[in-house]
Structure 1
Amino acid sequence: MSKVIFITGATKGFGRIWAESFLKRGDKVVATGRNTEALQDLKKQYGDLVLPLKLDVNDRNASFEAVKTAKDHFGRIDVLINNAGYGLFGAVEETTEEEARNQMETNFFGVLWLSQAVLPIMREQKSGHIIQVSSFLGLVTLPVLGLYNASKFAVEGLSETLASEVKGFGINVSLVEPNGYSTDWSGASAFQTQSMEVYDAVKAGFNEASSAPGIFGNPEATANVILKLVDNPNPPLRLLFGSVAYAAVTETYKQRLESFDEWKTVSLEAHGA
């Protein structure tokens, strides 16, 4: 049975690749983006299987309207993929208030609004799957991406809580945790803070590490993986995408557990009698 998939940020990158993968196998896709002209070729090729919708996920009312339009058009929404987001590169000290708020508006609040909008539909259906495109940087951190890290850490906390609240309604929640991929995320779609010379060495180290062979994954390789995630009746809460993500997260968690254990007696002392 075909599914109805609602994808934000579907004009390029993961969103575009995944939308095409679903359409190729006969699923129905609500493909949203700020510029629907970039989706017209999908409409021409797949016809009634695709519904392009203009959407700025920062706009809560528009997010609810888009979900309503999708439900009215296809009759149901089986999967929501919150994919819209961007990277903000720069040291924490360099970041302006506007840059910080804009990063959180898109990467966190956009996820919140769409999740809230789709929940009544999925509760009525007694089924559904909300997939949040987070990042391995929602579990570990890198310098020069402080606000991006923070936005994804926020998505992690929100989504893990949400999963525990809606499981009883037949709704699953999954966090996709990609490492870096060769998409537009770190290119034209990214934003840069106004640089302070004192952080040049930190940025040079970051750039050197980012240019190492094999750091970036092949985005096309995620197409079959997202299908497996959507089709699994018992999807995981978290799914790491890429060998770099797997290695970085597992090593970081190992170090955290060792640190917790080292300070165990002090932690227990802090509880009091």
Structure 2
Amino acid sequence: MDMLSFELIRDGNRPLYEQLYQQIRQEIIEGRLAYGTKLPSKRKLGQFLNLSQTTIELAYQQLVAEGYVESVSRKGYFVLAYEELAYVKTTPLPTSQRSNQQPAMRYDFHPSKIDGSSFPFSRWRKHAKDVIDEQHQSLVSLGHPQGDLSLRLEIATYLYHSRGVVCSPEQIIIGSGVEQLLPHIIFLLGKTTTYGIEDPGYHATRLILESHERSAVPIPVDQNGLVIPSLVQSPVDVMYVTPAHQFPSGSILSVNRRRQLLNWAAASD
């Protein structure tokens, strides 16, 4: 493709890279950018739209991260296949934290650990001192069962700007992690539900399901994420999936498969 022409609001509230990403994404969704189309180089598009190459790079990387576009080394960016969507809904995802490990390991990529030598303890101390005083007496009380309201408000705002998810603080429940929150979902869905888990996947998910005497069926994952035909042929009622960054492979569920997954979910209860 020679060039892309878009209307960008330069003095608006939304960053230019986000406007560019959303408009290219819309062109792909509506079929005006067909499968296999090569996007203009960052340099050429930057000159044409009077944008920095960094802005173009950010927009392109977001498209790659969401599976709309693939980056081919030394060739450029190409539009991936896009399937029609019967049912659209968006979903968020997990978090992590740290402790000590064997010194024999030079690098520890365990998802529940961070590098203590790089942690900003002085800044942490300063913020803790600013917050822990008599004006914040609510910190010593149990608080709302769904989590702090101000934090839920911030999360709702973040989800809207980063994922396009429109939700209210009342729809958000904050917990300490998957291990605490997944049992709540399990109890809501009843004892006869059959769950699908990614294979390979996060081991704690399987252990939680088994400890609550729930049936868990492994569904394979490849370089493009969950293999949807295997899911369709399985007896699974509910699929536990990590589309943004699959653990442990790191693969991103392609936009085509996301739509297939949502169509599968929409086809039954």
With structure 1 as the length reference, what TM-score do the two structures score?
Answer: 0.22
With structure 2 as the length reference, what TM-score do the two structures score?
Answer: 0.22
* Larger Rg, first or second structure (1 or 2): 2
Which structure has greater helix proportion?
Answer: 1
Which structure has greater strand proportion?
Answer: 1
